[in-house]
């Protein structure tokens, strides 16, 4: 069976080569068109990503990277400050409405840690806004504030909030160093009357600072969304570019296949040659069959012609009363019969 399969394969090889020679150019044509289309799409995706990051060319690459990283930092700080504000409000409003609040379970279990981290992040947020307004950094949207009134308002708000956050951090540090670290019971008892007032001022200031910090950090949400969409567009462009590369490799492989095959002008197509031979054989067979059919009919026609000729000569003899010999020697017979008639 293997030998038969090999012979069948060798017999079909010219047909396969002809099919490949006819199909590969069509594949290359469509692959080239698809590759060009994918290249245009990839270019459009990368162009869109560039416009989102560079804001249609109004920012440099360094500024775009700084704005993107700053947006991530600001939104992270916003998330921590929002969580701290939520936990603080829940712990405060629960007892007011008669709900028992457990400060050792769930989100409230780390309330002190979230508030301490929020104090630090609030100082960082307001400090970055101030440095951006001075032109020292380019992290937040305030670095590109164009109106003078908006810049002045943002500067004084950020400065007051920055001083307030630093003040809260200083008060907490003093309380820790004087009361907790020294373990001065007399001092702590002496300050007992002022502790509620101090804690109230700290908590009120901290709540105000967290809300302003959340608002300032939220203004970087647009930059973060632009960065996210630019990353998605860049990934789409990379995927389209990879698909285009695969199609180019396919096109190169198809071109190599055509280069390794014999040219159609040097060697005619096997299928066309076979069909030509078959048609010539059929034509010769038809001519031979026609000859065989015509030969018996021609023999019968010649025999009939000879029979008609013999029948015609016989009828002539019967009408004239002469034999063929007499007809041939008609002059001699007349010459001999003439004297007898005279006698």
The answer as to whether 251 is a domain residue is: yes
Kindly state whether residue 289 falls inside one of the protein's structural domains. Answer: no
Tens-place pLDDT, residues 212-269: 999 999 988 988 999 999 999 999 999 999 998 998 888 888 888 777 776 554 444 5
Distance CA 162, CA 184 (A): 31
Q: In this structure, is residue 11 part of a structural domain?
A: no
Q: Residue 266's pLDDT is what?
A: 45
| CA distances for 1 relative to 6, 11, 245, angstroms | 9, 15, 43
pLDDT-based confidence at residue 328 (cuts at 50, 70, 90): very low
Beta carbons of 70 and 220 less than 8 angstroms apart: yes
DSSP string, 182-211: TT-HHHHHHTTTTHHHHHHHHHHHHHHHHH
HSE toward the beta carbon, residue 337, CA cutoff 13 A: 7
Domain-located, residue 1: no
Segment among 6-10, 64-68, 75-79 with least mean pLDDT: 6-10
- State what percent of residues in the chain have pLDDT above 90: 17
Residue 241 lies in a domain: yes
Separation of alpha carbons 316 and 326, rounded Å: 12
Q: State residue 335 phi and psi, 5-degree precision.
A: -70, -35
Given a contact cutoff of 8 angstroms between Cβ atoms, the answer to whether 34 and 243 are in contact is: no
Which tokens is 218 given? 């939220």
Domain of 233 in residue numbering reads as: 18-283
Query: Is residue 322 in some structural domain?
Result: no
> For 21-25, 138-142, 195-199, 302-306, which range has the lowest pLDDT when averaged over its residues?
302-306
Residue 329 pLDDT exceeds 90: no
Does some domain include residue 272? yes
State how many domains the chain has: 1
Taking the model in full, what pTM does it have? Answer: 0.63
What are residue 43's phi and psi, to 5 degrees? -65, -40
Q: What is the mean pLDDT of residues 174-200?
A: 63
Residue 149 lies in a domain: yes
Residues 101-130: what's their mean pLDDT?
Answer: 82
pLDDT at 205 over 50: yes
Query: Which residues, other chains included, contact 213 with Cβ-Cβ below 8 Å and sequence gap of 6+?
Result: 77, 78, 81, 118, 121, 122, 125, 126, 161, 165
């Amino acid at each position: 069976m293997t030998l038969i399969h090999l012979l069948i394969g060798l017999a079909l090889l010219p047909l396969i080569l002809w099919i490949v020679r006819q199909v590969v150019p069509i594949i290359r044509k469509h692959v080239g068109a698809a590759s060009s289309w994918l290249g245009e799409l990839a270019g459009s995706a990368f162009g869109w990503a560039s416009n989102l990051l560079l804001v249609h060319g109004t920012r440099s690459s360094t500024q775009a990277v700084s704005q993107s990283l700053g947006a991530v930092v600001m939104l992270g700080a916003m998330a921590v400050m929002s969580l701290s504000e939520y936990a603080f409000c829940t712990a405060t409003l629960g007892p007011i409405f008669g709900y028992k609040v457990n400060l050792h379970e769930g989100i409230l279990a780390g309330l002190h840690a979230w508030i301490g981290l929020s104090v630090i992040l609030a100082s960082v947020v307001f400090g970055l806004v101030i440095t951006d307004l001075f032109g020292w950094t380019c992290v937040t949207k305030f670095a590109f504030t164009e109106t003078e009134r908006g810049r002045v308002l943002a500067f004084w708000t950020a400065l007051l909030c920055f001083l307030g956050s630093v003040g809260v951090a200083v008060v907490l540090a003093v309380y820790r160093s004087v009361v907790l670290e020294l373990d001065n019971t007399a001092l702590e008892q002496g300050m007992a009357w002022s502790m509620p007032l101090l804690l109230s001022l700290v908590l009120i200031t901290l709540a105000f600072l967290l809300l302003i910090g959340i608002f300032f950090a939220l203004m970087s949400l647009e930059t973060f969304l632009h960065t996210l969409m630019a990353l998605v567009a860049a990934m789409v462009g990379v995927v389209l570019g990879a698909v285009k590369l695969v199609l180019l490799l396919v096109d190169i492989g198809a071109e190599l296949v055509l280069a390794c095959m014999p040219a159609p002008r040097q060697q005619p197509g096997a299928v066309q040659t076979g069909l030509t031979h078959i048609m010539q054989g059929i034509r010769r067979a038809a001519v031979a069959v026609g000859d065989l059919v015509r030969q018996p009919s021609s023999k019968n026609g010649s025999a009939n012609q000879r029979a008609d000729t013999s029948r015609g000569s016989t009828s002539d003899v019967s009408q004239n009363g002469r034999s063929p010999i007499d007809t041939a020697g008609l002059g001699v017979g007349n010459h001999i019969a003439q004297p007898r008639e005279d006698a």
